[in-house]
């Protein structure tokens, strides 16, 4: 399995997702600031992977602190955490990972500084391990919704690369394949950053799972031709009512799926739920640079000076979501009740 991110020799080692699929390059982040930079520039991306990387970043940040006592240590750690939390706004897993590490730091206030740093390192590793386990659990719940022979459409990359391993939406597909089902994937290319074309197609080809790349604007065509049986996507943040923020273009796919009576499933761990938000309207949507829209592979696609918009995510309203597959089980509408019940104690906040 691809190692998206791992804690090795005082570094968070991550595969550089901006260079895939043509180059397989690993980047070692040795400081919390370097982890923040990797998140911002999308060397690492995908909500759960961001959460795991953030936890590792906090551990690296803690390692670099010298202080007389816990209060001195914690105030420095908080400052670094606040900065890291600014790296990307939409995926709630970032804040989730940081908050969990801060809680562990506070709980260890009576430990010696070296012991506390070790404890934080262990917690970052646990978060990484738990993410893989959550994806496997999601896979086994979710694969029951996929039938043998299904053509599954997905958007963006919600795979091993977007998590610590196995994936959320692609984890469901992997689990269906592992259960002996014949699955064909249609991967939307996902303009403008091309996570579908570059990452999803690469990942599935590595695993010999049949995948066909289509441009985002072809999704309706294939639904009309009855060549899509199910849609499965990931999520960056899910509000209490089941509104889902995910990669820009997801909303469009959900509307098409509704029109064509195709089930639209969202796969996401409990750490992606933000029950503090009543609806998706409150989810902050990241605006990324115009260059990511106008330039592809160093080639300018639009006139210099063109006015460009680049919201990186959109919100799919809950009425377009058939079910939300989590690591604790499958949530069905009405989501306000079902998500709360599944989340128990462990959701955000």
Residues annotated as catalytic (active site), given as ranges: 236
Comparison of 58 and 268: residue with beta carbon closer to ligand MRU: 268
Please report whether residue 236 would count as binding ligand MRU according to CB under 6 A.
Answer: yes
Nearer to ligand MRU, 156 or 321 (CB): 156
For the sheet with 244-247, list strands across it. 273-274, 237-239, 244-247, 313-316
Instruction: Tell me the three state secondary structure of residue 163.
Output: coil
- Site for ligand MRU, residues 237 to 296, rule: CB under 6 A: 246-247
> Binding to ligand MRU (CB under 6 A): which residues in 96-125?
none
Please say which residue, 108 or 171, places its beta carbon nearer to ligand MRU. Answer: 171
Q: Is 200 in the site for ligand MRU (CB under 6 A)?
A: no
Host H or E run for residue 256: helix 250-259
Pick between residue 65 and residue 320 the one whose CB is nearest to ligand MRU.
320
Verify binding: residue 142, ligand MRU, rule CB under 6 A.
Answer: no
User: At 87, phi and psi to the nearest 5?
Assistant: -65, -40
Residue 196: partners with Cβ closer than 8 Å, 6 or more residues away: 154, 155, 156, 157, 187, 188, 189, 190, 213
Distance CA 262, CA 279 (A): 24
Pairing mode, strands 244-247 and 313-316:
antiparallel
Q: Which of 234, 242, 249, 280 binds ligand MRU (CB under 6 A)?
A: 234
Closest contact distance (angstroms) between CB of 214 and ligand MRU is 17
Q: Does 312 bind ligand MRU (CB under 6 A)?
A: yes
SS3 219: helix
Closest separation in Å from C-beta 5 to ligand MRU: 13
Least distance (Å) between residue 163 CB and ligand MRU: 5
48 binds ligand MRU (CB under 6 A): yes
Residue 123 or residue 236: which is nearer to ligand MRU going by CB?
Answer: 236
The encoded tokens of residue 192 equal 């403008």
Please report whether residue 235 would count as binding ligand MRU according to CB under 6 A. yes
| CA angle in degrees (0–180, nearest 5) for 100-70-32 | 50
Distance, in Å, from the CA atom of 196 to the CA atom of 343, rounded to the nearest integer, reads 29
Residue numbers at the binding site for ligand MRU (CB under 6 A): 45-48, 91, 156, 158, 162-163, 168, 195, 234-236, 246-247, 312
């Amino acid at each position: 399995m691809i190692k998206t991110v791992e804690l090795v020799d005082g570094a968070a080692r991550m595969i550089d997702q901006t260079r895939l699929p043509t180059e397989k390059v690993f980047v070692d982040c040795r400081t919390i600031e370097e982890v923040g930079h990797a998140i911002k520039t999308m060397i690492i991306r995908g909500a759960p992977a961001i959460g795991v990387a953030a936890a590792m970043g906090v551990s690296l940040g803690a390692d670099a602190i010298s202080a007389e006592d816990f209060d001195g240590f914690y105030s420095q750690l908080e400052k670094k955490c606040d900065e890291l939390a600014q790296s990307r706004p939409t995926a709630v897993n970032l804040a989730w990972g940081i908050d969990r590490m801060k809680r562990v730091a506070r709980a260890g206030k009576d430990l010696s500084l070296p012991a506390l740093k070790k404890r934080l390192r262990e917690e970052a590793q646990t978060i990484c391990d738990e993410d893989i386990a959550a994806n496997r659990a999601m896979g086994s719940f979710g694969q029951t919704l996929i039938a043998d022979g299904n053509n599954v459409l997905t958007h963006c990359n919600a795979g091993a690369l977007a998590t610590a391993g196995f994936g959320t939406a692609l984890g469901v597909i992997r689990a269906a394949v592992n259960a002996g089902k014949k699955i064909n994937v249609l991967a939307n290319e996902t303009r403008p950053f091309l996570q579908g074309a570059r990452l999803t197609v690469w990942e599935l080809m590595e695993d010999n799972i049949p995948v066909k790349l289509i441009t985002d604007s072809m999704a309706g065509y294939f639904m009309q031709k009855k060549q899509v049986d199910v849609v499965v996507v990931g999520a960056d943040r899910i509000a209490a009512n089941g509104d889902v923020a995910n990669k820009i273009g997801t909303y469009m796919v959900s509307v098409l799926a509704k029109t064509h009576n195709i089930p639209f499933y969202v796969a996401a761990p409990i750490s992606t739920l933000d029950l503090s938000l009543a609806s998706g309207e409150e989810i902050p949507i990241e605006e990324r640079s115009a260059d990511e829209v106008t330039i592809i592979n160093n080639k300018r696609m639009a006139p210099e000076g063109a006015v460009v918009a680049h919201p990186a995510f959109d919100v799919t309203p809950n009425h377009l979501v058939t079910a939300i597959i989590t690591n604790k089980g499958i949530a069905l509408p009405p989501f306000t009740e079902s998500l709360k019940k599944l989340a128990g104690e462990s959701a955000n906040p």
